[in-house]
């Protein structure tokens, strides 16, 4: 992570021994170890949170894409339904028998038609 060589660690340990002293060095090393562990757990938690957020974003994008595709399919089905209904009506119209104009005439009432 930091790319520190062993010789550099020895130099840091000697400086810590001189600055802190031999009596308190074990306690300082223990405290530094605890802090390092907390830092690692914190970094791990942040990485997991970021990963979960990315997964959530990817799932949300998949949902949006799926809803869009469903909408497109729905529109295609409605268009096909309208086309089919039009074809059925045209077929019915072309196959229906011709209407006698005398029977449908608005002037055809009982007074004009003696029987």
Any domain includes 114: no
Residue 33 lies in a domain: yes
Q: Which domain holds residue 49?
A: 7-79
Number of domains in the chain: 1
pTM, to two decimals = 0.49
Answer yes or no: is 17 within a domain: yes
The winner for highest mean pLDDT among 9-13, 20-24, 58-62, 90-94 is 58-62
Taking all residues of the chain, what is their mean pLDDT, rounded to a whole number? 85
Is the residue at 30 inside a domain? yes
DSSP 41-82: HHHHHHHHHHHHHHHHHHHHHHHHHHHHHHHHHHHHHHHHHH
């Amino acid at each position: 992570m930091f790319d520190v060589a062993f010789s550099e660690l020895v130099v840091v340990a000697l400086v810590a021994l001189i600055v802190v002293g031999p009596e308190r060095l074990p306690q300082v090393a223990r405290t530094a170890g605890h802090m390092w562990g907390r830092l690692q757990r914190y970094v791990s938690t942040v990485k997991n949170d970021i990963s979960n957020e990315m997964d959530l974003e990817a799932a949300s994008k998949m949902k949006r894409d799926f809803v869009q595709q469903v909408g497109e399919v729905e529109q295609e089905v409605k268009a096909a339904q309208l086309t089919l209904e039009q074809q059925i009506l045209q077929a019915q119209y072309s196959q229906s028998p011709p209407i006698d104009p005398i029977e449908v005439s608005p002037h055809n009432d009982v007074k004009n038609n003696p029987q």
